[in-house]
Amino acid sequence: MADKPIQELVSCMGQPVAGNPTQFMMERAFADCELDWRYLTLEVPAENLKDAMAGFRAMGLRGGNFTIPHKVEVIQYLDGLSEAAERMGAVNCVNVVDGKLIGENTDGKGFVQSLKTLVEPSGQKVVIIGAGGAARAISVELGLNGVTDITIVNRTESRGQELVNVLNNIDGVTATLDVLDGDYEVDDDVTVVINATCIGLGDAEARVPLDLETLSRDMVVADVVFNPPMTRLLRDAQQRECRVLDGLGMLVNQAVIGFKIWTDVDPRPEVMREALEEYLEI
């Protein structure tokens, strides 16, 4: 391969988080699928995004991921958005279609795919703790996948209310806000509880403010935090006999979806998960 020009490039623009596990995972999947593609990590300061996007077009990149701080700002440099990305107001994945840059958001789709391994989203009664980017992506995608009852629990009321307003604009969805104040008590008819805050990131003992007594064995408990994957919340939920979903599944699934969008090839999720675990040493 060394003397052959690389056929296609995709890139990740933003602040690399803990190096770039996604680059490692994508490159492993390109090799596994025998695709002569490369995935580059490009650290672009906010003030250079406009120029970087001109470069993106000029260099003929086939696609890209976008992370903090570009997920919202990049939209002005794109030619179109998927429905989910438009509702979320954030893009984490760009695809080039007939020379046009189309913004997608695969985070929520990755979560929904994980959830589907345990339950069908439609008809679930969902509580989401957090109202940031991850909560926004997950809740909008759940709304677009038939979940009609969503409660957002957030510390900062204004941020929570903003997300609730977005969700109530989706046909059939009724969203409400509970402002986080002490340990949150989950209603007994709730079926899915999701931690979409960063509590637990890099700290296996960090505690999500939840009254564990209100978790029951009929519930699915999910965490977006992927490192460490077995967060305190998931360990506690398992003790309460809940079924649990870790954040690694969501991360792998969103990468699988991005890979397919760019290449039109289905990668093997297990190869990507293995690469991720190797990179994160877990």
CB nearer ligand NDP, residue 100 or residue 199: 199
- Dist. CA 267–CA 39, nearest whole Å: 15
Total Cβ atoms within 10 A of residue 54: 11
Note whether 258 binds ligand NDP by CB under 6 A.
Answer: no
Nearest to 269 by CA among 256, 282, 251, 254: 256
Place of tokens 């995935």: 39
Q: Which stretch binds ligand NDP (CB under 6 A): 40-48, 142-150, 223-231, 258-266?
A: 223-231
Q: How far is the CB of 210 from ligand NDP (least distance, A)?
A: 11
Note whether 269 binds ligand NDP by CB under 6 A.
Answer: no
b vs e for 193-216, b when ≥16 Cβ sit within 10 Å of the residue's Cβ? bbbbbebbbeeeeeebebeeebbe
Residues 9-68 that bind ligand NDP (CB under 6 A): none
With CB under 6 A as the contact rule, the residue among 21, 63, 133, 258 that binds ligand NDP is: 133
With CB under 6 A as the contact rule, the residue among 26, 53, 90, 134 that binds ligand NDP is: 134
Residues 72-91 that bind ligand NDP (CB under 6 A): none
Question: 253: burial class by Cβ within 10 Å (0-12, 13-18, 19+)?
Answer: buried
- Dist. CA 108–CA 26, nearest whole Å: 19
Note whether 201 binds ligand NDP by CB under 6 A.
Answer: yes
Q: Which stretch binds ligand NDP (CB under 6 A): 27-35, 154-162, 165-173, 261-269?
A: 154-162
Residue 233 neighbours by CB under 8 Å, 6+ apart: 195, 200, 207, 208, 210, 221, 223
Active-site positions read: 71
Note whether 155 binds ligand NDP by CB under 6 A.
Answer: yes
User: Which single residue brings its beta carbon nearest to ligand NDP?
Assistant: 132
Which own/partner contact pairs does 81-84 have at CB distance under 8 Å and 24+ positions apart?
A: 83/144, 84/108, 84/109, 84/137, 84/140, 84/141, 84/144
Note whether 159 binds ligand NDP by CB under 6 A.
Answer: yes
Q: How far is the CB of 222 from ligand NDP (least distance, A)?
A: 10
Beta bridge partners of 221: 193, 244
Note whether 165 binds ligand NDP by CB under 6 A.
Answer: no
Note whether 226 binds ligand NDP by CB under 6 A.
Answer: yes
Enumerate binding residues for ligand NDP (CB under 6 A).
107, 110, 130-135, 154-156, 159, 180, 197-199, 201, 224-226, 247, 250-251, 254
